[in-house]
Structure 1
Amino acid sequence: MSVSVIVALCGGLGLFLYGMKIMSKAIETVAGAKLRHILEIFTTNRFTGMIVGLIFTAVIQSSSACTAMVVSFVNAGLMNLYQAAGVILGANIGTTVTSQLVSFNISKYAPVILLVGVVSLMFSKKEKTKDIAEIIVGFGILFMGLQTMSSSMSFLKEDARVASLLLSLDNPILATIVGFAITSIVQSSSVTVSIVLLMAKQDLLGLPMCMYIIMGCNIGACSTAVLASLSGKKDAKRAAMIHLWFNVIGTVIMYVIMAVGQDQVISFIKMFSADNGRFVANAHTLMKIAQVILVLPFVKPLVKLASATVRGEDEKVGYRENFQLKYIGSKVIFNPATAMIEVVKELDRMASLASENLNRAMNALVTLDEDDINEVYKVEENINFLNHAITGYLVQINQMPLPIEDLKSIGAMFHVVNDIERIGDHAENAADAARQRKENGAVLSHDAMRELGEMLDMVNTIIRYSMEIFAKSDETHFQDVIDLEDRIDQEERKLQENHINRLTKGECTPEAGMIFSDIVSGLERVADHATNIAFAIKEEEDNLNAAKQGAIPLSKQ
């Protein structure tokens, strides 16, 4: 085997890997957020989860990316293990789409595809068009790599040393180990199966050995998810083990089937395979479908097996835990497609703390309970910690490749974390007022207490509606937020007038009046911050659209 053949093979493999990476990254950038939303919504049962996993993997051309995302979802608590199992099963079928594409003779069109992609990339002005052009470029490079490898492999048939080496693979276990090793190294079963497909086309590998190598590929493909889960929580590790056990069990089943009727299996696949390349692609697809059909009814035992493999429980981090991040941080797997979901959940937790603290402070204003006052200050320190930690994380991920929709949202997230922190500050101000009232003996009238309680109810409602809009993308109460904000503004003016009337009549002391006035103003500002949260994403999108059209966006004062 000459040096030029080796160089051509390595170059072709490099082009194939690079093309696949470009294509997968670009697809994730263009469609990652939409596919993520589909994953969130349509994985309620194992069957729909399987369909979603199949489509998702077929689109992004990577079961490794899909399973890594599933592991991230489980790690963030967005998906349970039974839902994850369905998606993982579907991803195992979806990954065969690449080998099906490779089996068709598309490589001869690779230069044209590449030219179209490069020209589009050079002359496109819109970011989305550029991303689509990158997909085409990646597709073209991928098939250029295949064409290079295919041309090089035609020379291998004439080399006696290569023939002798490949003959040593005429052992099922050794072939499976080779498939596992190569896939674990390149982190892509599609790459290994494509190489096997090309070798089968050149009659360099026997069909039974191709099938055994593919079985090894299936197990090796689990390495990405397993590695991704190592820094995650127990359930993330269990999700990775579901993927691993599925493929190990599937391989054992296929070993048994091949041992009993290898010739019959090969004859059956040959019936609808025009050549050896199509045989490998069809064998890959049929093996995966057969495995899923056999395992799908036994998802619960599969989940139990994964749970038994990874024992123990993580230390629970509740939303009240001090100075700890629950959804982002050291115990979280970074995945571009799930990073923003985790930020939203952390912000939702922070908002719950701020809202709860506001109510605690308002209660302390009435009861003058020293323990409540001190607790407000402690929780405020935790809110400040979350503010700095989340802001730092947003700065960090802003430098990373994210789906387009998520990049649009980062600016809004900075504003939201600031608004939530300001709500926490107003809770602290209310605690200061409670302590001041306790020290100077200021007495708030019954009417003043009632008015503050009524205004607090309105503020609690607008905070709840705003966080539903932000965290759940549920705009059901969008108009309610606008109406409530107006009502709270009117209520603030009315209560300030009532306060002046009580002062004039001598019904309250100046000290109590100052406390009342400050609290009313503070609650009105809390409502403003809640409204900002509800409008955050919408305003960011409007500003971006205006910028794209050349208009100057008007920022909210």
Structure 2
Amino acid sequence: MTMLEFFSLLGGVGLFLFGMTIMSSGLRNACGDNLQSILEKATANKYIAVLIGLGMTMLIQSSSATDVMVIGFVNAGMMNLAQAIGVIMGANIGTTVTAQITAFNIGAYAPLLVFFGAVMYLFIKKSLVKHIGEITMGFGMLFLGISIMKEAIAPLAESPQFIKFIANMSNPVIALIFGIGFTALLQSSSSSTVIFQTFAVQGLLYYDTAVYLIIGAAIGSVTPNILASLTTNRNGKRTALLNLTFNIIRAIILITLINLFPGILDFIRSLSPGDIGRQIANTHTAFAIIAVLIELPFTGQIIKLVEKIIRILPEESEQLEERRLQYMTNIKSVPQSMAVDQAHREVTRMGRIAAKNLRNSLTCFFSYTTEMAESVRAREESVNILNKTIADAIAELRAFDLDKENMHRVSMLTIAVTDIERLSDHAENVVEYAESMLGRHSCMSQAAIDELREMADDTLREVDLSLDAFESEDYSRLDEIERLENRVDEKETTLVNNHVQRLMTSSCDPMAGVVFCDLVTDLERCADHAINLAYALKERSTDSLPHHSGAAELPEA
């Protein structure tokens, strides 16, 4: 192979990979946010999850993209490992479609596809047409790249060095390792399989060798998921490990099967006699389907294996308990008064979680640790998930034929959920203030710190008393709550004025001054949300209810 032919090969590979990326991007853009909403709503039924993973990956032509989205959802708590493994398995089948498409020899029409795709993408303003043009252009580039690769590698058939290299790959172990490494480099099993296909069509690769390359490619394709999981929580890392474990088990099963029953490969080859490109595509698809059919019944055991490797910590178990509904689990099968009472209990539980998060965030502000900051952010995510799930459950309640009293309570509970969610939002703000002060705590005077502690104590006391009133509907301590609320309001003005004086005398750093004022404002707003909770279920006329800037609007019934 001459240097020019080598450059042509690299250019063909580059054009093919770029075409894959463009086509995948166009497909994702054309589908819009529907892909994420479909994934987010993947049910606990593992068979449906497989179909969702299969369909999504067929649409976007990238199992890595599907798997990375799955890792993101598991990381955010929107999907569990049982749902994730089904989608991952489906994605492994969906990704084989690329090889099936490229088995068709339509390279002669590729320049035409690129031209029409470019016209649609560059000259038509309608977004859907632009996305279709992007897909068409990427599709054309893909086949154009394959055509260039075929021309570039044709002389390799006469190269003694390359023939020797291919001969070494006839060893299954070497072929398997090469398939893993090559795919890890490309980060796409679809891409590496198509390249193997191209070599085989040109007579440079035997079918038996390609089989082991395909098995190795499935393991190597997990590389993007492992990289994506490096910045996720432990559940995100488990998802990536789940994918890797599935593909390693898949490799063991397939190698065992084809060695015990070589007739499997003979059968696949007989489906497309004389067409090695199609044979490789069919093998890729058949292997994925066989692996899913064999492993699907054992998903529970695979998940347990992964959870033994990355053990579930006590705080993770607590987080799982926090994020799932505990009371509103059978609202459709109980009397409406009991269903509303369950909603009240669930909202109260969410309030306690948010209050705990606010308390921990303030502890983190005065004595920062990375672990505490991460804990606050994780609990804030729990509150967000509860906010959505409780809101959905309450929406179901509102659809019932509720009497006037229960409808009013449901409406007030909806407002309470909003106030509680905002309490936890402020907790996250407090952690951000703490991080902005790292290494600068000495720049804030002791007087400022003491004032913040005193205001924080009053705010937390008000939050706790308000939640007690909300839970028990005992309003005997409303006067104390009102006094705390007024004291926090007064402190907001007093503390800011005091701090301005300190800034003028250079007792505090200006940056610390900004954080001080922001935290004071957040604490005052937390107190507002607290008193809203205290009065949320109290039967009073609307005019006599306390009104605070943080209050949510009453939703229509």
The TM-score by the shorter chain falls in which range?
0.5 to 0.7
Partner of 1:33: 33
In structure 2, the partner of 1:279 is: 279
Q: Is the 8 A contact 2:78 2:385 kept in 1?
A: no
Q: Trace 1:335-374 onto structure 2 (pairs within 5 A).
A: 345=385, 351-354=419-422, 363=469, 366-369=477-480, 373=484
Partner of residue 428 from structure 1, selected from 504, 523, 527: 527
CA distance in 1 between counterparts of 2:45 and 2:538 reads: 44
The secondary structure found in structure 2 opposite 1:526 is: coil
TM-aligned CA distance change 1:271 to 1:315, over 3 Å: same
Cα gap change, 1:140/1:365 in structure 2, threshold over 3 Å: closer, same or farther? farther
1:14 touches 1:145 (CA, 8 Å); kept in 2?
yes
2:170 alignment partner, SS class: coil
Report the 3-state secondary structure (helix = DSSP H, G, I; strand = E; otherwise coil) of the residue aligned with 1:135.
helix
Distance 1:108 1:377 in 2: 76
Alignment of 1:380-419 (within 5 A): none
Q: TM-score, normalised by structure 1?
A: 0.65
User: Which residue number in structure 2 is paired with residue 522 of structure 1?
Assistant: 548
Do 1:53 and 1:94's aligned partners in 2 also have CA atoms closer than 8 Å?
yes
Secondary structure (helix, strand or coil) at the match of 1:203 reads: coil
Please report how far the alpha carbon of residue 107 of structure 1 lies from its aligned counterpart in structure 2 after TM superposition: 2.0
Query: Hey, what's the Cα distance between the residues in 1 that align with 2:189 and 2:86?
Result: 20
TM-score by length of 2: 0.65
The residue type paired with residue 209 of structure 1 is T
- The amino acid that maps onto 1:112 is L
How many Å separate the matches in 2 of 1:312 and 1:133? 47
- Within 2, Cα distance between the matches of 1:93 and 1:277? 18
1:473 alignment counterpart = none
Q: What are the Cα deviations for residues 358-417 of structure 1, in whole angstroms up to 9, with x where unaligned? A: 895595895344799489969x99xxxxxxxxxxxxxxxxxxxxxxxxxxxxxxxxxxxx
Give the Cα–Cα distance (whole angstroms) in 2 for the partners of residues 315 and 103 of structure 1.
50
The C-alpha deviation readout for 1:408-448, integer Å capped at 9, x for no partner, is: xxxxxxxxxxxxx99996663587999xxxxxxxxxxxxxx
Alpha-carbon distance in structure 1 between the residues aligned to 2:196 and 2:238: 31
Tell me how far apart the structure 1 counterparts of residues 532 and 193 of structure 2 sit (CA, whole Å). Answer: 70
Q: Which is worse superposed, 86-95 or 31-40?
A: 31-40
Superposition deviation, residue 42 in structure 1: 3.5
Aligned partners of 1:122 and 1:27: how far apart in 2?
17
The number of equivalent residue pairs is: 406
Q: Could you tell me how far apart the structure 2 residues matched to 1:198 and 1:67 are?
A: 26
Whether contact under 8 Å (1:71, 1:236) holds in the other structure is: yes
Query: Which of 1 and 2 has higher RCO (CA within 8 Å, sep 6+)?
Result: 1
Gaps in structure 2 of 5+ consecutive residues:
320-352, 365-372, 389-416, 425-461, 470-474, 493-519
Contact 2:419 2:532 in 1 (8 A): no
Task: Tell me, in whole angstroms, the C-alpha distance in 2 between the residues paired with 1:185 and 1:10.
Answer: 14
For 1:526, give the aligned amino acid: A
Residue 49 of structure 1 is matched in structure 2 by: 49
Residue aligned with 1:78, SS: coil
Note closer, same or farther for the CA distance 1:42–1:163 as it changes in structure 2 (3 Å cut): same
State the Cα distance separating 1:51 from its structure 2 match.
0.6
CA distance 1:330–1:425, shift in 2 (3 Å)? closer
Match of 2:538 in 1: 453
CA distance in 1, matches of 2:75, 2:113: 39
Letter in 2 for 1:186: L
1:137 maps to 137
Structure 1 distance, partners of 2:27, 2:299, is: 30
Is 2:529–2:551's contact at 8 Å kept on the other side of the alignment? no
- Residues 195 and 313 of structure 1: CA distance in aligned 2, closer, same or farther (over 3 Å): same
For residues 34 and 355 of structure 1, what CA distance do their matches in structure 2 show? 31
Provide the secondary structure at the position in 2 that maps to 1:198.
helix
Once the two structures are superposed, the pairs formed by residues 506-517 of structure 1 within 5 Å of their partners are none
- SS of 2:261's equivalent in the other structure is helix
List per-residue Cα deviations over 1:300-346 (Å, max 9, x = no partner). 1111111112124274565442449xxxx9899xxxxxxxx999759
Alignment of 1:109-120 (within 5 A): 109-120=109-120
The residue matched to 2:258 in structure 1 has which SS?
helix
- The match for 1:151 is 151
Letter in 2 for 1:268: F
8 Å contact 1:50–1:87 — kept in the other structure?
A: yes
- The superposition leaves residues 258-279 of structure 1 with CA deviations (integer Å, 9 ceiling, x where unpaired) of 22233x2332111111400001
Structure 1 residues 312 and 345: alpha-carbon distance in aligned structure 2, compared to 1, 3 A threshold: closer
Unaligned runs of 5+ in 1: 333-340, 382-420, 435-448, 456-490, 496-515, 535-557
Cα distance, 1:154 vs structure 2: 1.7
Residues 466 and 481, structure 2, Cα contact 8 Å, conserved in 1: no
Which residue number in structure 1 is paired with residue 343 of structure 2?
A: none
Q: Which residue of structure 1 lines up, in the alignment, with residue 84 of structure 2?
A: 84
Q: Specify the code of the residue in structure 2 equivalent to 1:232.
A: T
Alpha-carbon RMSD = 3.9
For each residue in 1:481-522, what CA deviation from the matched residue of structure 2 results, as whole angstroms up to 9, or x when unmatched? xxxxxxxxxx65xx3xxxxxxxxxxxxxxxxxxxx6xx5443
- Identical-residue share of aligned pairs (%): 34
CA contact (8 A) 1:376 1:427 kept: no
